[in-house]
């Protein structure tokens, strides 16, 4: 048997720098977290940006659902809306452009005790991150994905986005956009998302209700939030905003949310479109499927410490 | 096969020579199962307390094509797969013509006379090599029936080799049964029959038979596996329980092994939609509290570089395996090259120092994986393991690790803390570690991990002062690591004419070259560098003792006129004159190739 010395010994557990242990909190000690407890940096968004409302309702959700502070997990990619984690006083990750979903999947799959919220914009979700959107949806990874859709690239200052309507004038389409925009609702249903909802930053109660339902859904929950960019696409969603003379039309009560084709048809209209839950079904999550594989394999090696499981493998290689 | 002691022939049988080692090359097509014969020979050597090293080539296409498997078995130290073969087993005309030149003068070629007609053998070959023709294909049909099934041919040939080298038949029977157990019991029986038929074939026409001297690793329990297997098991031993990847040759079998093994340990490996998703998912899991792994080969590493840069910036522990193959672009997927050193060390935008270590042998793959995990955690940094196709696919026997001692527990710790700064500038050596989501911070101030330049809590900053300080922090912590890396020892005397510097899989051939050169009276030594980035301290002293320092690597001299490690060493040690010994033929080093290149300098 070889006793080869290793130059770098394993760092012992709890060896984080600059930390000192504290006593655990009991549930009785906990109070609902207020906006004051969970707000961090002042948002970098322009005054009047729709994203403020999404942030405010995320705080509301945290308070209402009495989330434990340390369990709040906020992940984002790159974009105006993706600055989200800096504004939330909780564990957060600001990852690279378009890859928030695979990053969040890594957290969700390895940490079933956490519910991960992912925030981002239409470019992050449907352009650079389009492939990840499809696969995270089809694998049904348990997490909530809130896409703040403003139909334009805001952080980079006014370029055509994958959801910009035909005719929209931007710096990259001065003559008006020519390409057919993505329909996020149809895209999500087609990809295999198991919870698909549409809401708007101008209707707080509806937005909160959608976030709550997505959070309670056991699977990949997708919410498209219309969130106006007052700087580069003002008035984009006026036709669904009653105080601007638009019509806020909810998904009809009689709509069967488990009917994929009905949901697809209902999602056909891009603007103003309907609001509410289009599609909601139960399908085994990636998390549950992996847990089942693990349970099955672990039952075969029940009670053995890791080194003995490995020893069994090595014994077959002699 | 030097050191031959010829025993007296008995009863018309060929004489039996006692040998210390042999290089056997098996050449055929990839579907002939020649990798399997090689695998049996390697495993048998491991069980017989001998050293063994293999070398194989496989075509990158799925359905066939020429393929070889070379196995070097020795009673003493085996450092490389061997330059020339003592025996060639050739299944076809093309195997014969392509590989006869790899045989030593006077070596034995055992060929399938059903495919290669004796009259087709050139006269000059008959004078140079000893030929033994056996109708392998038709005898296999005779042995196990069927219609010339290629499947049994390899096992029949294994029987012939067992006779030729007086191999341990009961052990081989057991290996065959183990290999085919679980399938139809008839298959195992058929395999043993084919083997016995080959073993009992009358080899009276053979010029010589051989017997290995007893192995030197007496009493040592050895395991036999490939470099990719050793690396994957090393990651498991290190405590890794989450990984993500995308299929690419020659990385895929690490991913396949982890996918099926990790669930036993409560872990999981995810096959993702692409390379970028894989590295992102692994980073996400690392943030979840337990260092995770991703990996790939050349093209996939290119795709992962942006996310690796994020891990550098966010100071997230991560292990990235790069099984190097021939590049650039799609390159030569089933050949070996050491041309990813630059992308491993420098890949990505901005100043993004990271750790790069390169295993040299199959055994080293196992321990390097553990070291990588421990460095990643200790210094909160991505660590790239730079292995290559040569080590990945070759099989070696090595002493079984003391698993009870080696296997680590790195399960995450979510104990609440009073306060936490993820990027504390006052931390000694610049080394900070993260707390995972789920960890309560009593002060109510929670950390953000980020790719933006940030303050000590992870919040974005445009402050020039903070960018300077954080850049220095990321650099200094790797300097702190460098101080902990042992300075490699010189192989041979510390002074002489020539020093051969190696990294990765070049270690064995370079050390064998040093041995041969010294045996010929030349003042040649070797220095192997395992830690590529950061380099260990104290190397300049090693270089001082030699008039010439050659850096031996499997890559091109490029536009700089020296290989990739060579260029790195020139930049770091401007006072030493380095020269490159490079090649890019997609094959591992032959000892002779190295010696030929340095000969003028040794005179």
Which domain CATH number covers B565?
3.40.50.920
At residue B475's C-alpha, the angle toward residues B474 and B476, to 5°, is 95
- Please indicate, yes or no, whether residues B334 and B346 belong to a single structural domain of this protein: yes
The residue whose two tokens read 């003042």 is: B523
Q: From the candidates A110, A112, A132, A133, which should be mutated to test the interface with B, based on the most B CB atoms within 10 A?
A: A110
Helices (H), B117-271: 123-128, 136-144, 150-164, 169-180, 185-199, 227-238, 252-261
- Predicted confidence (pLDDT) at residue B350 exceeds the cutoff of 60: yes
pLDDT (0 to 100) of residue B63: 65
- CB contact under 8 Å between A310 and B221, yes or no, is no
Which CATH number fits the domain that encloses residue B11? 3.40.920.10
- Mean local confidence (pLDDT), B249-262: 97
Q: From the candidates B178, B448, B455, which should be mutated to test the interface with A, based on the most A CB atoms within 10 A?
A: B448
- Please indicate, yes or no, whether residues B301 and B384 belong to a single structural domain of this protein: yes
Per the structure, the complete domain to which residue B386 belongs is given by 224-406
- Please indicate, yes or no, whether residues A78 and A166 belong to a single structural domain of this protein: yes
- Mean local confidence (pLDDT), A100-116: 98
- Predicted confidence (pLDDT) at residue B11 exceeds the cutoff of 70: no
B235 Cα distance to chain centroid: 15
Helix (H, G, I), strand (E, B) or coil at A195: strand
Chain segment B526-578, per-residue pLDDT in tens:
999 999 999 999 999 999 999 999 999 999 999 999 999 999 999 999 999 99
Chain segment B129-182, per-residue pLDDT in tens:
999 999 999 999 988 876 555 578 999 999 999 999 999 999 999 999 888 877
Among B residues 462-501, those touching chain A with beta carbons less than 8 Å apart: 484-486
- CB contact under 8 Å between A16 and B460, yes or no, is no
- Please indicate, yes or no, whether residues B474 and B577 belong to a single structural domain of this protein: no
* Boundary-marking domain end, from B195, B220, B245: B220
- Is B255 a member of any domain? yes
pLDDT (0 to 100) of residue A98: 98
Mean confidence (pLDDT) of chain B: 93
- Give the separation between CA B266 and CA A297, rounded to whole angstroms: 8
- Please indicate, yes or no, whether residues B202 and B303 belong to a single structural domain of this protein: no
Q: Decide if B110 contacts B160 (C-beta within 8 A).
A: yes
pLDDT (0 to 100) of residue B279: 98
Which CATH number fits the domain that encloses residue A190? 3.40.50.970
- Predicted confidence (pLDDT) at residue B2 exceeds the cutoff of 50: no
Which chain A residues touch B452 with a CB distance below 8 Å? 94
User: Residue A168 to residues A235, A273, B393: CA-CA distances in angstroms?
Assistant: 12, 18, 55
pLDDT (0 to 100) of residue A8: 78
- Predicted confidence (pLDDT) at residue B414 exceeds the cutoff of 60: yes
- Is B87 a member of any domain? yes
- Is B423 a member of any domain? no
- Give the separation between CA B42 and CA B50, rounded to whole angstroms: 9
Q: What DSSP state is assigned to residue B586?
A: S
Chain segment B353-412, per-residue pLDDT in tens:
999 999 999 999 999 999 999 999 999 999 999 999 999 999 999 999 999 999 999 999
Q: What DSSP state is assigned to residue A70?
A: G
Number of domains in chain B: 4
- Give the distance from residue B463's alpha carbon to the nearest chain A alpha carbon, in angstroms: 16
The residue whose two tokens read 């695979």 is: A102
Could you report the predicted ipTM of this complex, rounded to two decimals? 0.97
Q: Decide if B333 contacts B249 (C-beta within 8 A).
A: yes
pLDDT (0 to 100) of residue B580: 97
Q: How confident is the model at residue B32 (pLDDT cuts 50, 70, 90)?
A: confident
pLDDT (0 to 100) of residue B53: 84
- Please indicate, yes or no, whether residues B102 and B142 belong to a single structural domain of this protein: yes
- Is B351 a member of any domain? yes
Cross-sheet strand order for the sheet of B222-226: B130-134, B103-112, B85-90, B21-29, B66-74, B51-57, B395-399, B222-226
Q: How confident is the model at residue A19 (pLDDT cuts 50, 70, 90)?
A: low
User: Residue B444 to residues A36, B416, B458: CA-CA distances in angstroms?
Assistant: 11, 11, 15
Q: Is B577 on the interface with A (CB under 8 A)?
A: no
- CB contact under 8 Å between A104 and B284, yes or no, is yes
- Please indicate, yes or no, whether residues B495 and B476 belong to a single structural domain of this protein: no
Which chain B residues touch A62 with a CB distance below 8 Å? none
Q: How confident is the model at residue A223 (pLDDT cuts 50, 70, 90)?
A: very high
- Give the separation between CA A105 and CA B278, rounded to whole angstroms: 10
Where is pLDDT greater, at B290 or B203? B290
Which residues touch A209 (CB under 8 Å, ≥6 apart)?
none
Q: Decide if B282 contacts B308 (C-beta within 8 A).
A: no
Which chain A residues touch B357 with a CB distance below 8 Å? none
Per the structure, the complete domain to which residue A294 belongs is given by 286-318
- Predicted confidence (pLDDT) at residue B1 exceeds the cutoff of 70: no
Which chain B residues touch A42 with a CB distance below 8 Å? none
Q: From the candidates B47, B263, B350, which should be mutated to test the interface with A, based on the most A CB atoms within 10 A?
A: B263
Q: Are strands B5-6 and B16-19 parallel, antiparallel or unpaired?
A: antiparallel
- Please indicate, yes or no, whether residues B159 and B308 belong to a single structural domain of this protein: no
Which chain A residues touch B442 with a CB distance below 8 Å? 22
- Give the distance from residue A276's alpha carbon to the nearest chain B alpha carbon, in angstroms: 30
- Is B283 a member of any domain? yes
- Predicted confidence (pLDDT) at residue B59 exceeds the cutoff of 80: no
Q: Decide if A135 contacts B276 (C-beta within 8 A).
A: no
- Model's pTM, two decimal places? 0.96
- Is A225 a member of any domain? yes
A14 Cα distance to chain centroid: 30
- Is A24 a member of any domain? no
Q: Which two tokens stand for residue A194?
A: 């198991």
- CB contact under 8 Å between B424 and A17, yes or no, is yes
Chain segment B286-339, per-residue pLDDT in tens:
999 999 999 999 999 999 999 999 999 999 999 999 999 999 999 999 999 999
Where is pLDDT greater, at B324 or B79? B324
pLDDT (0 to 100) of residue B4: 44
**Among A44-53, A188-197, B162-171, B520-529, the least confident range:** B162-171
Among B residues 43-82, those touching chain A with beta carbons less than 8 Å apart: 43, 46-47
Q: How confident is the model at residue B3 (pLDDT cuts 50, 70, 90)?
A: very low
- Give the separation between CA B338 and CA A107, rounded to whole angstroms: 34
Mean confidence (pLDDT) of chain A: 95
Q: Write B101-108 long-range contacts (CB < 8 A, 24+).
A: B102/B25, B103/B25, B103/B129, B104/B1, B105/B129, B106/B130, B108/B132, B108/B164, B108/B206, B108/B207, B108/B208
- Is A87 a member of any domain? yes
Q: Which of B217-221, B380-384, B414-418 has the highest mean pLDDT?
A: B380-384
- Please indicate, yes or no, whether residues B297 and B358 belong to a single structural domain of this protein: yes
Number of domains in chain A: 2
- Please indicate, yes or no, whether residues A233 and A315 belong to a single structural domain of this protein: no
- Predicted confidence (pLDDT) at residue A89 exceeds the cutoff of 60: yes
- Please indicate, yes or no, whether residues A213 and A297 belong to a single structural domain of this protein: no
- Please indicate, yes or no, whether residues A88 and A228 belong to a single structural domain of this protein: yes
- Is B416 a member of any domain? no
Percent of chain B with pLDDT over 90: 82
- Please indicate, yes or no, whether residues A58 and A90 belong to a single structural domain of this protein: yes
- Give the separation between CA A56 and CA A61, rounded to whole angstroms: 9
Q: Write A166-172 long-range contacts (CB < 8 A, 24+).
A: A168/A233, A170/A232
- Is A7 a member of any domain? no
- Predicted confidence (pLDDT) at residue A15 exceeds the cutoff of 90: no
What are phi and psi for residue B40, nearest 5 degrees? -65, -45
Q: Decide if B265 contacts B314 (C-beta within 8 A).
A: no
Where is pLDDT greater, at B6 or B328? B328
- Please indicate, yes or no, whether residues A314 and A239 belong to a single structural domain of this protein: no
- Give the separation between CA B430 and CA B478, rounded to whole angstroms: 9
- Please indicate, yes or no, whether residues B354 and B453 belong to a single structural domain of this protein: no
Among B residues 433-452, those touching chain A with beta carbons less than 8 Å apart: 433-442, 444-452
Residue B320, beta-bridge partner list: B294, B384
Helices (H), B288-395: 298-314, 341-346, 362-379, 389-393
pLDDT (0 to 100) of residue B150: 57
- Give the separation between CA A32 and CA B402, rounded to whole angstroms: 51
Chain segment B260-280, per-residue pLDDT in tens:
999 999 999 999 999 999 999
Q: Which of A17-21, A55-59, B216-220 has the highest mean pLDDT?
A: A55-59
- Is A6 a member of any domain? no
């Amino acid at each position: 048997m070889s006793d080869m010395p290793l130059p770098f010994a394993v760092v012992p557990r709890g060896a984080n720098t600059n930390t000192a242990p504290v006593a655990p909190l009991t549930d009785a000690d906990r109070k609902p977290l207020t906006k004051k407890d969970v707000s961090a940096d002042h948002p970098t968004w322009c005054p009047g940006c729709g994203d403020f409302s999404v942030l405010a309702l995320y705080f509301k959700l945290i308070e209402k659902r009495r989330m434990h502070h340390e369990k709040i997990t906020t992940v984002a990619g790159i974009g105006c809306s993706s600055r989200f984690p800096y504004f939330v006083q909780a564990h957060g990750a600001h990852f690279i452009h378009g890859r928030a979903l695979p990053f969040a999947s890594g957290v969700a799959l390895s940490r079933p005790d956490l519910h991960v919220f992912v925030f981002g914009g239409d470019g992050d979700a449907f352009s650079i991150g389009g492939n990840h959107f499809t696969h995270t949806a089809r694998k049904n990874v348990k997490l909530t994905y809130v896409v703040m859709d403003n139909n334009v690239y805001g952080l980079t200052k006014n370029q055509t986005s994958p959801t910009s309507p035909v005719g929209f004038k931007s710096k990259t389409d001065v003559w008006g956009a020519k390409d057919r925009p993505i329909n996020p609702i149809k895209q999500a249903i087609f990809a295999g998302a198991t919870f698909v909802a549409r809401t708007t930053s101008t209707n707080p109660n509806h937005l909160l209700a959608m976030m709550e339902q997505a959070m309670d859904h056991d699977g990949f929950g997708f919410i498209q939030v219309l969130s106006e960019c007052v700087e580069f696409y003002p008035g984009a969603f006026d036709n669904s905003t009653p105080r601007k003379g638009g019509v806020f039309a909810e998904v009809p009560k009689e709509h069967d949310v488990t009917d994929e084709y009905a949901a697809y048809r209902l999602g056909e209209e891009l603007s103003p479109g309907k609001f509410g839950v289009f599609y909601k079904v139960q399908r085994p999550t990636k998390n549950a499927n992996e847990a089942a594989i693990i349970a099955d394999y672990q039952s075969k090696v029940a009670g053995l410490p890791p080194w003995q499981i490995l020893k069994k493998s090595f014994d077959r290689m002699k | 096969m030097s050191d031959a002691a010829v025993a007296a022939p008995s009863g018309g049988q060929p004489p039996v020579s006692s040998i210390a080692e042999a290089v056997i090359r098996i050449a055929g097509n990839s579907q002939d199962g020649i990798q399997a014969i090689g695998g049996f020979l390697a495993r048998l050597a491991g069980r017989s307390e001998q050293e063994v090293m293999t070398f194989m080539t496989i075509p990158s296409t799925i359905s066939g094509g020429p393929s070889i498997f070379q196995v070097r078995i020795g009673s003493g130290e085996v450092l490389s797969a061997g330059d020339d073969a003592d025996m060639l087993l050739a299944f076809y005309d093309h195997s014969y013509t392509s590989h006869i030149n790899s045989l030593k003068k006077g070596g034995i070629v055992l060929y399938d006379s059903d495919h290669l007609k004796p009259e087709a053998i050139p006269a000059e070959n008959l004078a140079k090599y000893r030929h033994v023709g056996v109708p392998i294909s038709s005898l296999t049909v005779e042995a196990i029936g069927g219609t010339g099934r290629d499947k049994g041919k390899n096992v029949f040939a294994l029987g012939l080799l067992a006779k030729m080298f007086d191999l341990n038949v009961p052990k081989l029977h057991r290996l065959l049964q183990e290999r085919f157990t679980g399938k139809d019991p008839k298959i195992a029986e058929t395999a043993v029959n084919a083997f016995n038929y080959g073993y009992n074939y009358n080899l009276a026409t053979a010029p010589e038979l051989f017997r290995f001297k007893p192995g030197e690793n007496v009493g040592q329990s050895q395991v036999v596996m490939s470099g990719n297997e050793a690396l994957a098991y090393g990651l498991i031993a290190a405590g890794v329980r989450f990984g993500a990847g995308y299929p690419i040759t020659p990385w895929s079998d690490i991913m396949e092994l982890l996918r099926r093994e990790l669930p036993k340990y409560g872990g999981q490996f995810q096959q993702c939609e692409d390379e970028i998703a894989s590295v992102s998912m692994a980073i996400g899991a690392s943030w979840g509290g337990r260092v995770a792994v991703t990996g790939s080969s050349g093209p996939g590493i290119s795709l992962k570089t942006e996310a690796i840069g994020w891990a550098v910036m966010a100071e997230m522990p991560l292990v990235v395996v790069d099984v190097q193959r021939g590049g650039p672009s799609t390159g030569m997927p089933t050949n070996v090259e050491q041309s990813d050193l630059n992308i491993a060390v420098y890949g990505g935008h901005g100043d993004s120092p990271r750790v790069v270590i390169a295993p040299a042998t199959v055994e080293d793959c196992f321990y390097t994986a553990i070291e990588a995990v421990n460095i990643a955690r200790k210094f909160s940094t991505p660590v790239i393991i730079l292995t290559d196709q040569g080590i990945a696919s070759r099989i070696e026997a090595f002493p079984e690790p003391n698993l009870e001692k080696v296997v680590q527990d790195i399960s995450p710790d979510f104990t609440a803390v009073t306060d936490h700064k993820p990027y504390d500038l006052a931390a000694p050596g610049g080394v900070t570690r993260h707390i995972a989501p789920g960890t309560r911070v009593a002060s109510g101030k929670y950390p953000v991990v980020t790719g933006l330049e940030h303050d000590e809590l992870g919040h974005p900053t445009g402050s020039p002062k903070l960018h300077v300080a954080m850049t220095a922090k990321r650099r200094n912590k790797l300097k702190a690591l460098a101080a902990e890396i042992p300075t490699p020892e010189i192989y041979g005397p510390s002074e002489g004419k020539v020093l051969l510097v190696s990294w990765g899989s070049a270690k064995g051939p370079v050390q064998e070259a040093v041995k041969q050169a010294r045996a010929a009276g030349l003042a040649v030594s070797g220095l192997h560098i395992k830690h590529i980035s950061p380099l260990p301290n104290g190397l300049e002293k090693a270089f001082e003792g030699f008039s010439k320092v050659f850096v031996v690597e499997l890559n091109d001299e490029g536009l700089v006129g020296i290989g990739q490690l060579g260029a790195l060493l020139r930049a770091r040690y401007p006072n030493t004159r380095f020269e490159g010994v490079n090649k890019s033929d997609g094959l591992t080093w032959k000892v002779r190739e190295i010696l030929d290149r340095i000969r003028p300098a040794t005179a």
